[in-house]
Structure 1
Amino acid sequence: MGYILCCVDGKNFSYDACDYAVLIANNMNLPLKFLNVVERTYSVTSIDLSGSLVLGEREEMIEELAKEEEKECRKVKKEGKELLNELKLRAIKTCKNEVSISQIHGEIIENISEYEDEIEVLVIGITSHEEHKIGENVKEIIRSIHKPVLLVNSKFEEPKKMLIAYNGSTESKKLLEQTSNNPLFKDIKRDIVNLNTNETEGLKLLNEARELYAKKNYEVNTTILNGTSENLLIEYFNENNCDILTMGAFGHSRIKEFIFGSFTSKIITKMKKPILLFR
């Protein structure tokens, strides 16, 4: 049996990510695991490395630096374990299945990738919005794992309405199958939109999506948004009081992303509510 993996660091909406992860675990009837990855990203600032070192000071400085790094590492590990224990206590109050915790030292992308075959959904807290830059780690995690990823970038709210962006791609077809077969969010209204300058093509894609949901007895609202800008999607989301945005992620090559920019990256940066991504 798979499980829901919630990756936390104590900085980026960890408690809200916990609450969304519990909700998904209950909806999918799966165990929940919290993961804290201790990366080598902390820095030692108590040692003055400016100026020239006289003979004999280099070895002492290296030894002192190593001791300070070890001390900082122990501090980061301790804080991570405390966070994990807090989140476990928070989760078991409402989670219907087993809740476990794990702390690993290493690179976050490599470690999460190792869990890919075991997990059903990955939940991550992120700091987003236009004034912030989304870390490359977040983008690489989304690119490297072919499971649904929920990015939590705001306070937890019980979701009532989901907006699904459908464009007929492999990624967006996966999201239709997943959100209709074993819903991550149950008892939720669904709007499906297609960004398109070709109305005929847009209607065809929306009919395709509507028919798939009809087989599962789900009613959906469908709308064509005339254009291709991410702002159209965000405006619809906000004007229609949606709670979760669902879409395929990084459908183009890195070269195209570099030249034209990534639709996914722009959405992640600008959205102020959780985003469910499929690869």
Structure 2
Amino acid sequence: MSKILACIDTSPYANSVCDLTAWAATRLPSSVEVLHVIQRKSAVQERRDHTGAIGLGVKSGLLEELTRIEEAQGKLAIEAGHMLLDAAVERLRASGIHDLTLMHRHGGIVETILEREEVCDLLVMGNRGASAEFAIAHLGSKIERVVRTSKKPILIAPSKVGDVKKVILAYDGGTSAKRALDLMASSPLFENLELHAVFVGEDNERHRVMLANAHQHISESGRSLTTSILHGSPEPVIAELMDSTDDTMLIMGAYGHSPLRNLIVGSTTTSLIRMVTKSILLIR
């Protein structure tokens, strides 16, 4: 049996992560590991930070008091984490998911997720992190680091998860897009769903042949695929398509260019994660 890693934090996206996890776990089927990570500095490092911030003349008693406050905040964070995990279990069980494991860890968020993904087949994360209310159009740095580094498929949960009846593949014939196509052809995740592949760019013979080959590949698996070519820039065209289509999930390859090129000219992956308000499955 496969295993899903559901990564939750204190953001409003925790419920969406649980709902999308339940959808995937029911279709695959899979067991679920729910992960919550508390990231904090050591007391020694915090004390040094305070010393630099408030000056050399401060009394040591104040520094000790600040350290006690931080330790109390750490205990509250642990308790809040337990409550968050308990709520996640309740929500998942209400959706019929009972094969659950809880993981409450301290340390680096990105590093812990990448460590736990080694024993999982699929990751589920929220579209924004714990400061989601302050960054409506910004992709959290930790989420982006996971997406760029992870070797596993990642489901990105929007603020509200709806029913999924149709899957749209952003297809460009690249390596990761072909892996996504293979997954559409073979995974029970997409069984009995309406499948569609779209290419955004010039309508020419090469691109029509590319989509025809994708259609044949899906047909040989016993499933059906419709295809289309749309004109324009991929990011706004795909985002508009997703916004105009109900009950839809987007599948796309993740970060097809080098990190240096993405740094200079930006990334279609990052832009679409920011712009699309539906569930997204990223394939490396």
**1:201–1:98 Cα change, 3 Å:** same
CA contact (8 A) 2:171 2:199 kept: yes
Q: Which moved more, 1:240-249 or 1:69-78?
A: 240-249
Deviations 1:10-30 (A, max 9, x none): 214111210110111111111
| Structure 1 counterpart of 2:158 | 153
- In the alignment, structure 1 residue 247 sits paired with structure 2 residue 248: no
Cα shift at 1:194: 0.8
Whole-angstrom CA distance in 1 between matches of 2:178 and 2:121: 17
| Partner SS for 1:109 | helix
Whole-angstrom CA distance in 1 between matches of 2:71 and 2:219: 58
| Structure 2 counterpart of 1:111 | 112
CA contact (8 A) 1:197 1:228 kept: no
Which residue identity does 2:169 align to in structure 1?
I
| Structure 2 counterpart of 1:54 | 57
Whole-angstrom CA distance in 2 between matches of 1:66 and 1:197: 61
TM-score normalised to structure 2 length: 0.88
Whole-angstrom CA distance in 1 between matches of 2:112 and 2:163: 30
Whole-angstrom CA distance in 1 between matches of 2:170 and 2:163: 21
Cα shift at 1:184: 2.3
| TM alignment of 1:164-203, pairs within 5 A | 164-203=169-208
TM-score normalised to structure 1 length: 0.90
CA contact (8 A) 2:2 2:28 kept: no
CA contact (8 A) 2:168 2:249 kept: yes
CA contact (8 A) 2:170 2:251 kept: yes
Structure 1 unmatched ranges of 5 or more: none
Cα shift at 1:125: 1.2
| Structure 2 counterpart of 1:86 | 87
CA contact (8 A) 1:29 1:96 kept: no
Whole-angstrom CA distance in 2 between matches of 1:111 and 1:153: 22
CA contact (8 A) 2:203 2:229 kept: no
**1:250–1:12 Cα change, 3 Å:** farther
Which residue identity does 1:24 align to in structure 2?
A
Whole-angstrom CA distance in 1 between matches of 2:199 and 2:223: 18
Whole-angstrom CA distance in 2 between matches of 1:51 and 1:117: 43
| Structure 1 counterpart of 2:276 | 271
* Greater share of helix: 2
